[in-house]
Amino acid sequence: MDFLLDPEVAYLNHGSYGACPVPVFERYQALQRELERNPTAFLAREFDERMAEARGALAAFVGARADDLVFVPNATAGLNAVIRSLRLESGDVM
């Protein structure tokens, strides 16, 4: 099984609520434990470099520049940021 979802329930859209594959969840838990063990080192000394590495890996995967990527908490937050950045005039249609 790739997900931790209850096999007795038929999910048609599990992505809406954050279900992720088991290996991703396990890595998330490992990072959370690392953060909890030494939050100052994790957040103050390592976070920016780790995020830059993650953007670099994602950029290589999608064929973009790392400086053109940003992580957001969810799709709604990302779309909200993009839409709010647009200069719309009366009569514009999206």
Please state, in angstroms and rounded to a whole number, the distance separating the CA atoms of residues 58 and 65. Answer: 9
Question: Residue 65: which domain range?
Answer: 46-89
- Asked whether residue 94 is domain-assigned, the answer is no
Vertex 75: Cα angle to 5 and 65 (nearest 5): 115
Q: Tell me, what's the pLDDT at 75?
A: 86
- Asked whether residue 59 is domain-assigned, the answer is yes
- Asked whether residue 78 is domain-assigned, the answer is yes
Question: Do 30 and 51 lie in a common domain?
Answer: no
b (16+ CB within 10 A) / e for 64-86: eeeeeeeeeeeeeeeeeeeeeee
- Asked whether residue 71 is domain-assigned, the answer is yes
Question: Do 65 and 83 lie in a common domain?
Answer: yes
34-87 pLDDT, tens digit each: 999 999 999 999 999 999 999 999 999 999 999 999 999 888 999 999 999 999
Model confidence band, residue 32 (pLDDT cutoffs 50, 70, 90):
very high
Question: Do 54 and 27 lie in a common domain?
Answer: no
The total of structural domains in the chain comes to: 2
Please state, in angstroms and rounded to a whole number, the distance separating the CA atoms of residues 26 and 39. Answer: 19
